[in-house]
Structure 1
Amino acid sequence: SRSAADRVDLGNVGSASGRAQAAFQAAQSQIGKPYVYGATGTASYDCSGLTSWAYAQAGVSIPRTSQAQANAGVHLSMSELKVGDLVIFYDDLHHVGLYAGNGQVLHAPRTGAVVRYESINNMPFQFGVRI
């Protein structure tokens, strides 16, 4: 919902590109949708289902899995992240979200949760990926 989005301070870091901004805005429109493993939208998503769907709305095809998305672009440190960049978590690269600004990630977290913002520090950050 818009009201939930408004309660999160995303700062003003700017987006990585026009397509990253478009992908991020698409993902924002899915806040509150349930996580379902293997789902690619629009009723529900898993983590990489959300990111691949969001980039598809921006006219950009990226791989389906978080591990493949991890190798789909240039790797970034946390300080280099801009809105719409992919953010890869865990040693085995099994989780991905979109950087939302101000230390927040927009992602489909896990079974029983919904698409939402969360602190980037709640999960073990590996690197960002610029698409």
Structure 2
Amino acid sequence: MDKEVLLGKELSNLYAINKQVHQYFENSDVSFLSERRQQAIKDYINFSAKNEESVAEMLRSLHINPGNTIDSIINEITENLNEITQQKKNNEALNGLGYMMSFNRLVSYHKANVINIEFIMDELEEVKKG
């Protein structure tokens, strides 16, 4: 596998992450969280939506169709977030903390994927220079 193929696979994965994030939070009830935490989630959703558009453009320019790519780690994290929201009536403070810890994992995983793409793109740029 060459670096351009690897870039395509990583971009497809990032596209899937953005899509799954959008799908999960589209109907997610986070009203049990503080206003500040709700705003952090809204900001993340907006970032993810913009990122999805730019990744889709990059995929089109590489003539890659991401298809129905699904990220299993995002699935696990969003399932966990969903379980927490189902339990929110029991102990809102503790559930809010657990929710934000899982949310932080989601954001960190998403960020790691963006960093990996930047790394591959830097490698491709070095090849072009060298």
Q: Same fold by TM-score, threshold 0.5 exceeded? A: no
**TM-score, structure 1 normalization:** 0.27
Q: Which structure features the higher share of helix residues?
A: 2
Say which one has the larger Rg: 2
Q: Which structure features the higher share of strand residues?
A: 1
Asked which structure has the greater RCO (Cα within 8 Å, sep 6+), the reply is 2
